Structure 1
Amino acid sequence: MLGDLNKRELLDLIENQVIGRLGCHTDGETYIVPVNYVYRDNAIYLHSGKGKKVDMMRANPKVCFQVDEIKDTFRWKSAILWGNSIELSSEERQQAMQGIIHRIMPLTNRPSEEPSHGIKPELHDNIIVFKIELTDISGKYETHDDY
């Protein structure tokens, strides 16, 4: 059976995942890349080093974000989110980065060997943190009770 995820199912999906795909578009080019993220207060928070996605979000803050949970070909959930990216600074940047680290680190196999999400402390100032303020969200699912 195919269907639409309701609001609670969408939020559960987004809150329980840690990897999503960021879609950026500028100058006629679309770029999609997987990123670690944390969801909080109707926003997606993510971080990156300098590069293509950062350049594209700075040029065009309108982005798309996709999250899914796939059990197999016929049992999955997927959410598409749209919003505007905002580059964070100062205290808000630091809080977002800590939120990302605290969400992701318990999921690693070697947390004691990967402090600060594997980012060397001397490189923390080079990390760029974005907030995607969500403007729209939708989701679909497929399930089969006979499996």
Structure 2
Amino acid sequence: MTIELTEIHPGECYRILENERFGHLACCKDGQPYVAAIYFAFSSGVAYSFTMPGKKLDWMRGNDKVCLHVEHRSSAGGWTSVVVEGRFEEFPDSDSRGSERLHAWSLLQKNSDWWEIGAMKPHESPILEGSPHVFYGIVVTAVSGRRAVKAE
């Protein structure tokens, strides 16, 4: 048995992103990469997500170039992998960005556990003035994908 590896057309990559909701987000600071698991909702070239203050948010604010990896494993033993190169864009609770924040929330809340990864921290977060919840988007600048299928 061999594995056949094929490139995926960008249109198919976008369809996969629209149907998945879990991925790994990579960001970088001072040449050091950092990867974190996220839930997201994909629409119109943007992967919408949510987080609380912390390392990931600090790093994305400092360097808006990020990467999202989404993987799907098939029951037949193959896999599909999509990589999004993008730009971090924050949607603060303000008049100028309120509609984008509301749009992000409306897409994310379609799944009951949308907030879990972004809100859970291994230690207590300090109490902040105002809402610490941060909605953001990864605006796609490039997308690529591959599929591995078992061939007999």
TM-score range, shorter chain: 0.7 to 0.9
Partner of 1:128: 134
Unaligned ranges ≥5, structure 1: 109-115
What CA distance in whole angstroms lies between the structure 2 residues aligned with 1:94 and 1:19?
20
Is the 2:50–2:115 contact (alpha carbons within 8 Å) kept by the matching residues of 1? no
Unaligned ranges ≥5, structure 2: 93-97, 120-127
Partner of 2:124: none
What CA distance in whole angstroms lies between the structure 2 residues aligned with 1:11 and 1:101?
20
Change (3 A) 1:51 1:117: closer
What CA distance in whole angstroms lies between the structure 1 residues aligned with 2:115 and 2:9?
33
Q: Which amino acid aligns with 1:95?
A: H
Is the 1:23–1:30 contact (alpha carbons within 8 Å) kept by the matching residues of 2? yes
Is the 1:4–1:139 contact (alpha carbons within 8 Å) kept by the matching residues of 2? yes
| Cα RMSD, aligned residues only | 2.2
Q: TM-score, normalised by structure 1?
A: 0.81
Match for residue 101 of structure 1 among 109, 113, 118: 109
Tell me whether 1:48 sits opposite 2:54 in the alignment.
no
Partner of 1:83: 86
Is the 2:41–2:48 contact (alpha carbons within 8 Å) kept by the matching residues of 1? yes
Q: Which amino acid aligns with 1:135?
A: T
1:98-126, CA deviations, whole angstroms, 9 ceiling, x for partnerless residues? 21111x22xx6xxxxxxx8467xxx9922
User: Greater CA deviation, 76-85 or 93-102?
Assistant: 93-102
Q: TM-score, normalised by structure 2?
A: 0.79
Tell me whether 1:28 sits opposite 2:31 in the alignment.
yes
Runs of 4+ in 1 over 3 A off after TM superposition: 116-119
Identity of aligned residues (%): 26
Q: Which amino acid aligns with 2:64?
A: P
Cα drift, residue 27 of structure 1: 1.3
Partner of 2:146: 140
User: Greater CA deviation, 3-12 or 26-35?
Assistant: 3-12
